[in-house]
Amino acid sequence: MHPELQSRLEQLGDDLRHGDVDRAALFWLKMFADQATTHGGSLRSDAWVDAGLAAARTLPGLDAAALAPRRRLVEHYGLFQFVRMKDSAVFAGTALAQLDWQRKYIVGLAPAFAADLPALRGWAERHWDQLGGVDPAFARLEDLLARYAPQGRAGLLEVLHDTQTIFGGWLPRPALERIAGGLGLPVADVYGVTEFYEMFYTQPVGRKIIRVCQDASCALAGADALTAGICRKLGLRPGETSADGEYTVEQVRCLGLCDHAPAALVNLRRYAPIDPARPEQLLSDEPPQPVQRIGGQLKIALANVGAIDPASLDAYYTQGGMAAFEKALQTMSPADVIAEVADSKLVGRGGAAFPAGQKWRLTASNPPGPRYVICNADESEPGAFKDRVLLENDPFRVLEGLLLACYAVGAARGFVYIRGEYRPGYERMAAALSTLEAAGYTGTNIFGSGFSCTIELRRGAGAYICGEETALMESIEGKRGFPRLKPPFPTTAGLWGCPTAINNVETLAKVPPIVLYGGRWYANLGTADSSGTKLFAVSGSVRRPGVYEVPFGIPLRHLIYDLAGGPHTGREIQAVLTGGAAGAFLTAEHLNTPLSFESFRAAGGTIGAGTVMVFDDTVDLRMVLARIGDFFAHESCGKCYPCQIGTQRQAELLGRLAQGTRISGDSIALIELGQVMTDASICGLGQAASLAIVSARKRWPELFE
């Protein structure tokens, strides 16, 4: 072989092995060598292309239609000579960059290498056997698409998650184009989804993405200092990637780790709590092991948490696990299950407090046809982390509750939609679901009952709006998480236009004991208008942040002081934000208020999803309000202008308030903005984005003066 040809082929081989050139370039070289050998040493360019396109049909994952690999092969390595058929113009060396691939040429090796065609063919064959024509990442993508192609668009988010892992943390354009083709979608639709969700990246990022939470509980614990420290150590600013491609630092919204503040994720591995004075902990391979605090007076949903191995179905059996589902299949009709849930007076534990029995009855009463049940585990609001505790510590109970809901409404498919940041919860639920499938609790004709049901997991990707039920359904369907106009409500036209019941994690975790012991047993707990128990996630300025389950009716003081330990020595409670970022403020004067829907309503608070954030007298509430404003401005999906523009403007006004640069009229503007967003926004995000601000202005008007 000519020494120069050998040198150029060695460079091509190195580039192929290091991924600097697409493997399709090797395919085109092999096709040239094969075809040129057959045709006496040269061939027409159109014949070369036609033969390559035909051969590529048998090679899944090889994008032979892409011009870039063929052009790179021809222009970069100086192997070829092209003679234009129109006028016999010769192109070689640097002139190959001027080729018009729409014209026809006679293609051969450069004259100095013409005698080495057999050697070139042998080289191409050997490297083809070693490397193939498809990059290993694209080969894995083909396997992935083979699994999800039958689902079409509905498989898109799962494919994007797994593809991003395959390609080292981001989504190259060729991969997105292949996903579009594999799922039968326009490329623009795929890009529309990737740009909507925060956890998808279409540009290279660090191999390790450090996400530091910025919301109130973490801010109080030193998140700003932690961010500054890790950025200083890496020589970066937030949003930047290190020169070696190892790290990207991001400031993100609530990670659902408020009881372990300040919190961060490195990729999806938890580092919480982190000492702000020791940011180098984020670079360690050994994250902290936080203490999980759970407690309460009467544990129903939390009964198994910390008491059994959450990965063991046998351990779940020892606590009566799956007995409720078996009882329902053997002795109860679907209507009987709905009746028990209705008798229990169980209402949604995700914030809306809609009666669960009524929701199931509405879903089941529709004409025959497909029905669905969804477990909403997209817990993303600042201060909320109770569902995370259940997903990770009692997954079988959540899945049993979902199976009971499916049985009650006649749904053959159920879904669990888990926020993307909850990777441990997703893995724990996936393992539990696999165990239940192996034990026969899902599938066709379960235990000979005639009931068939499958459960599927779906991952969110960093969009708080997907906690809204209709946006969540859009996401499961493989779309951007835009909320739908209501009516129609999901119980009539939900997932894929079919009747759908959507319930929170905690709601479903309460269902098995209700079915097992009866609705009246549960209704006798709590108060007349607020039955049962409630999980409260307590964080902020308390000694023992954690999740506590109590019967409705106990005083707020007991939750904060007796269970969560109260404020630190020498501190007094200044404010309690109930119901999350979209909730309302109470003060120390309200500590004797009973924890119930009716009592909180009368006091100007809200139970919501059970989020309780405590702020002592050292906290600047203007900072807290500014963080709330930033959260909603960041999370607004942008579908409707009142919310999109209103949350941005609200954040600006609250930012000025926190910085002490307020101008005349800001206070009135905040109230007017809130009224417009509440009245005109499509969904609950915009409708509730100003509630905490309006509540704070009512409690502490001097903050706004």
Structure confidence at residue 64 (pLDDT): 86
Residue 174 has pLDDT above 90, yes or no: no
Whether residue 255 is predicted with pLDDT greater than 90 in this model: the reply is yes
The Cα 26–Cα 30 span in angstroms is 6
Q: Read off the tokens for 660.
A: 């002490």
8 A C-beta contact, residue 550 and residue 534: yes
CA distance 648 to 637: 12
Query: Helices 395-409 and 323-331: crossing angle, nearest 10°?
Result: 20
By the 8 A CB rule, do 110 and 45 touch?
A: no
Distance CA 357, CA 344 (A): 8
Cα Rg of the chain, angstroms? 30
**How much is the pLDDT for 337?**
98
pLDDT digits 0-9 by tens, 428-487: 999 999 999 999 999 999 999 999 999 999 999 999 999 999 999 999 999 999 999 999
Q: How much is the pLDDT for 59?
A: 85
For residue 111, cis peptide bond before it (omega within 30 degrees of 0): no
Q: What is the mean pLDDT of residues 517-527?
A: 96
22 CB-near residues (< 8 Å, 6+ apart): 66, 68, 69, 72, 135, 174
Q: What is the pLDDT of residues 155-173, one digit of tens each?
A: 999 999 999 999 999 999 9
Is there a cis peptide before residue 487, judged by omega within 30 degrees of 0? Answer: yes
Residues sharing a CB contact under 8 Å with residue 357, sequence separation 6 or more, in sequence order: 338, 339, 341, 342, 343, 344, 346
Distance of CA 232 to the CA centre of its chain: 29
Confidence class for position 69, pLDDT limits 50, 70, 90: very high
Which residues have a Cβ under 8 Å from the Cβ of 173 and sit 6 or more positions away?
Answer: 202
Sheet holding 500-504, edge to edge: 454-459, 413-418, 372-377, 500-504
Please state the separation of Cα 686 from the chain's center in Å: 21
The residue among 205, 215, 156 whose CA lies nearest residue 476 is 156
CA separation for the pair 685, 481 (Å, rounded): 13
pLDDT confidence band for 57 (50 / 70 / 90): confident
Which 3 state secondary structure label does DSSP give 43?
strand
Report pLDDT for 375.
Answer: 98
Tens of pLDDT, residue by residue over 406-426, are 999 999 999 999 999 999 999
Question: Average pLDDT of the chain?
Answer: 96
What is the distance between the alpha carbons of residues 34 and 38, in angstroms, rounded to a whole number?
Answer: 6
User: b or e along 241-251 (b: 16 or more beta carbons within 10 Å of the residue's beta carbon)?
Assistant: beeeeebbbbb
Looking at the predicted structure, is the pLDDT value of residue 503 above 90? yes
Which string of DSSP letters, residue by residue, matches 384-425? --HHHHHHHH-HHHHHHHHHHHHHHHT-SEEEEEE-TT-HHH
Does residue 502 contact residue 468 with C-beta atoms inside 8 Å? Answer: no
Task: Quickly state the pLDDT bin for 705 (edges 50, 70, 90).
Answer: confident
Q: What is the pLDDT of residues 358-399, one digit of tens each?
A: 999 999 999 889 999 999 999 999 999 999 999 999 999 999
Q: Taking the C-alpha atoms of 42, 19, 99 and 6 in order, what is their torsion angle to the nearest 10 degrees?
A: -40
CA distances from 496 to 82, 154, 160, 681 (A): 54, 10, 21, 24
| CA atoms of 93 and 76, how far apart (whole Å) | 9
Residue 573: Cβ-neighbour burial (10 angstroms; 0-12, 13-18, 19+): buried
Assign residue 579 a region: left if phi > 0, alpha if psi is -120 to 50, beta otherwise?
left
Least-confidence region, from 16-30, 270-284, 383-397, 563-577: 16-30
Rounded to the nearest 10 degrees, how much is the dihedral formed by the CA atoms of 563, 569, 571, 575?
A: -10
Question: Which residues on neighbouring strands pair with residue 526, listed in sequence order?
Answer: 531
Spatial contact of 397 and 355, defined as CB atoms under 8 Å apart: no
Provide the 3-class DSSP secondary structure of residue 186: coil
Cα distance between residue 603 and residue 593, in whole Å:
8
Strand partners, 417: 376, 458
DSSP label at residue 93? G
Give the per-residue pLDDT at 203: 96
Single-letter residue type at 556: L
Q: Among residues of the chain, what percentage have pLDDT more than 70?
A: 100
Measure the CA–CA gap between 546 and 563, rounded to whole angstroms: 9
